[in-house]
C-alpha cells in the first residue's frame, strides 16, 4: 500500500481495492500491511485515528473474506474497551468470523507515541491450522522465533518500515541506510528459515514526511522492504519491490512446517540494527510513552466521517 498517513477513508478504500484485486485473482489468503488504516509516522493526527475492535477496519476484513472465500488479515490501530490502543492484527475467516487477533509485542521507535504492546503468543487457529503472526520488527527479535518456531504452518504479517532520514554527515548516513534497507528487504525471508514455515509479508511503499520526536529537524524518507511470499526454507517465491508502488504480489505456496534451517542467536535481536536505529529505539521509546499517556490513552475510538464509505464497505460482502 501507499497509505495517506492518518486518512482513514482513503486508506480503507485503497485496502478494499487491493483486497478485491487479490481476491479476483484467486488468492486464498489476503494479507494487508500493519497500520493498513492509517500508515505510520510521527503525525499527531494518529492520536485520534484508532478504530474500535469491531469498527470499519474489522468490517472490511470480514467483507473481503466473505466475498472472496478467503482468509483476510491485517493490523490497525485498535482502541480497546480499556481505553488503550494496540497494534492489532485481525484474521477474518471465509466463514465470516474473526478467527483470532494478535497484538504486536513492542512498539518500534515513534510508534510508542500511538499504542502499547501486547503479550499474546501470536498463534491463531485457521480451522485447525496454526498460523503465526509477526509484524515488522517482530521479525527482528529472537523472542518471536521462540514463540513461533516449529509451532506454526504459516506466518502472516506486514510492516511499515521507514528509511533513515537523510541528515549529515551524508557518507555515514548513506552507509547506515544501505544496511537498513538490506535488513528490511531480507527480514521476512530470513525469519522463515528461523521458524521453519512459509511467510506472507505485506508492506507499505511511498514517501513519508513528518516531525521527528525531540528534534528540530523534520523526517523525510520512504517506506521500504517490499511485499513477498516465501517458502519455509526462506526461498522467495514472489516479491513486489517498494519502487513498484501500491499493488499485489501473488504466489502459490503450500503451508506446512519444516525443521528450521537456522538457529536463532543467543541475543535479543536477530539482526544488527546499526547505531542510529539503536539510538532512535531508546530515546523515542522514552519520548513516546510520555506522549502516549498525554495525548492518546483514554480517548474514544475514531469514527469515519464519510458514512457512505462505511456503508459501502459493510455491504461489500
Residues 6+ apart with CB under 8 A from 291: 112, 113, 213
Share of the chain above pLDDT 70, in %: 96
Q: How confident is the model at residue 306 (pLDDT cuts 50, 70, 90)?
A: very low
Q: Are 33 and 203 in contact (CB under 8 A)?
A: yes
Q: What pLDDT sits at residue 88?
A: 98
Separation in Å, CA 263 to CA 84, 196, 197, 281: 36, 10, 14, 25
CA 163 to chain centre: 15
- Given a cut of 70, is residue 317 above it in pLDDT? no
- pLDDT (0 to 100) of residue 262: 84
Q: Of 100, 107, 146, 105, which Cα lies nearest the Cα of 126?
A: 100
Instruction: Describe the strand order of the beta sheet including 207-210 as a list of residue ranges.
Output: 161-162, 219-224, 207-210
Strand-strand pairing, 123-126 and 219-224: unpaired
Over residues 291-299, the mean pLDDT reads 97
Q: What is the pLDDT of residues 167-204, one digit of tens each?
A: 889 898 899 999 999 999 999 999 999 999 999 999 99
* In the predicted structure, residue 125 carries a pLDDT above the cut 90: yes
pLDDT for res 305: 60
Residue 78: pLDDT over 80:
yes
Q: Which residues contact 293 (CB under 8 A, 6 or more apart)?
A: none
Average of per-residue pLDDT values in the chain: 94
pLDDT of 308 > 70? The answer is: no
Residue 304 in this model has a pLDDT that exceeds 50: yes
Which residues, 6+ apart, have CB-to-CB distance to 175 below 8 Å? none
Q: Are the C-beta atoms of 281 and 109 separated by less than 8 Å? A: yes
Position 301 scores a pLDDT of: 95
Q: What is the CATH number of domain 8-311?
A: 3.60.110.10
pLDDT at 276: 85
Question: CA–CA distance from 175 to each of 135, 188, 221, 272 (Å)?
Answer: 26, 22, 15, 14
Tens-place pLDDT, residues 199-241: 999 999 999 999 999 999 999 999 999 999 999 999 999 999 9
Tell me the three cell numbers of residue 73: 488479515
pLDDT at 298 over 50: yes
Beta bridge partners of 141: 269
Amino acid at each position: 500500500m501507499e497509505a495517506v498517513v492518518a486518512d482513514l477513508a482513503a486508506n480503507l478504500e485503497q485496502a478494499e481495492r487491493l483486497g478485491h484485486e487479490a481476491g479476483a485473482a484467486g488468492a486464498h489468503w489476503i494479507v494487508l500491511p500493519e497500520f493498513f488504516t492509517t500508515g505510520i509516522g510521527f503525525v499527531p493526527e494518529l492520536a485520534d485515528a484508532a478504530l474500535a475492535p469491531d469498527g470499519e477496519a474489522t468490517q472490511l476484513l470480514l467483507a473481503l473474506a466473505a466475498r472472496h472465500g478467503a482468509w483476510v488479515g491485517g493490523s490497525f490501530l485498535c482502541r480497546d474497551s480499556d481505553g488503550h490502543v494496540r497494534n492489532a492484527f485481525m484474521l477474518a475467516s471465509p466463514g465470516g468470523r474473526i478467527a483470532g487477533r494478535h497484538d504486536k509485542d513492542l512498539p518500534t521507535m515513534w510508534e510508542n507515541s500511538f499504542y502499547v504492546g501486547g503479550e499474546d503468543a501470536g498463534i491463531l487457529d485457521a480451522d485447525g491450522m496454526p498460523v503465526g503472526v509477526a509484524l515488522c520488527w517482530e521479525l527482528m527479535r529472537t523472542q518471536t522465533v521462540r514463540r513461533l518456531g516449529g509451532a506454526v504452518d504459516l506466518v502472516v504479517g506486514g510492516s511499515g518500515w521507514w528509511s533513515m532520514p537523510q541528515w549529515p554527515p551524508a557518507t555515514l548516513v548513506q552507509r547506515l541506510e544501505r544496511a537498513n534497507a538490506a535488513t528490511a528487504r531480507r527480514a521476512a525471508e530470513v525469519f522463515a528459515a528461523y521458524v521453519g514455515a512459509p511467510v506472507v509479508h505485506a508492506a507499505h511503499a511511498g514517501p513519508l514526511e513528518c516531525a521527528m520526536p525531540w528534534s528540530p529537524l523534520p523526517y523525510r524518507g520512504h517506506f521500504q522492504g517490499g511485499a513477498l511470499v516465501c517458502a519455509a526454507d526462506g526461498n522467495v517465491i514472489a516479491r513486489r519491490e517498494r519502487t513498484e508502488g501500491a499493488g499485489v504480489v501473488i504466489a502459490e505456496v503450500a503451508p506446512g512446517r519444516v525443521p528450521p534451517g537456522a538457529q536463532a542467536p543467543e541475543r535479543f535481536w536477530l539482526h544488527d540494527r546499526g547505531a542510529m536505529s539503536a539510538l532512535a529505539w531508546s530515546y523515542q521509546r522514552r519520548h513516546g510513552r510520555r506522549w502516549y499517556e498525554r495525548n492518546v490513552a483514554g480517548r474514544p475510538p475514531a469514527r469515519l466521517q464519510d458514512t457512505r464509505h462505511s456503508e459501502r464497505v459493510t455491504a461489500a460482502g
